[in-house]
Amino acid sequence: MMRRRLPRAGPPCQIPPAIAARILLLREDAMVLDKPAGLAVHRGPRGGASLEDWLEALRMGKRHLPQPAHRLDADTAGCLVLGRTKPALAALGALFARGAAEKTYWAVVRGGPAGAEGSIALPLRKRSSAAQGWRMEAHPDGQAALTRWLLRGRAEGLAWLELRPETGRTHQLRVHCAAMGWPILGDALYGGGAEGGLHLLARAIALPLDPLLSATAPVPPHMRAALMACGWDGA
Question: If you average pLDDT over residues 189-198, what whole number do you get?
Answer: 93
* Cβ–Cβ < 8 Å for 182, 113: yes
Q: How far is CA 135 from CA 129, 144, 172, in A?
A: 9, 17, 11
**Mean pLDDT across 139-147:** 97
Structural domains present in the chain: 17-229 (3.30.2350.10)
How does residue 1 score in pLDDT terms, banded at 50, 70 and 90?
Answer: very low
Calculate the dihedral angle through the C-alpha atoms of 59, 63, 64, 69, rounding to the nearest 10 degrees. -80
Q: How far apart are CA 91 and CA 69, in angstroms?
A: 9
142-178 burial, b at 16+ Cβ within 10 Å, e below that, comes to: beebbbebebbbebeebbbbbbbbeeebbbbbbbbbb
- Degrees to nearest 5, angle at CA 129 with 128 and 133: 70
Q: Over range 16-31, report the average pLDDT.
A: 96
pLDDT band at 131 (very low <50, low <70, confident <90, very high): confident
Q: How much is the average pLDDT of 10-39?
A: 89
- Residue 132 has a pLDDT of 72
Which of 10-24, 153-167, 181-195, 208-222 is the least confident region?
10-24
Do residues 76 and 122 touch, judged by C-beta distance below 8 A?
A: no
pLDDT at 2: 42
Asked if residue 10 has pLDDT above 50, the reply is no
End-to-end Cα distance, the chain? 58
Query: Would you please indicate which residues are annotated as catalytic (active-site) residues?
Result: 73
CA-nearest of 175, 59, 85 to 126 is: 175
What is the value of pTM for the model shown?
0.91
Position 13 confidence tier, pLDDT thresholds 50, 70, 90:
low
Q: Say if residue 225 is exposed, middle or buried (CB neighbours under 10 Å; 0-12, 13-18, 19+).
A: middle
**Stretch 131-150: mean pLDDT:** 93
CA angle centred on 48, ends 45 and 52, rounded to 5°: 90
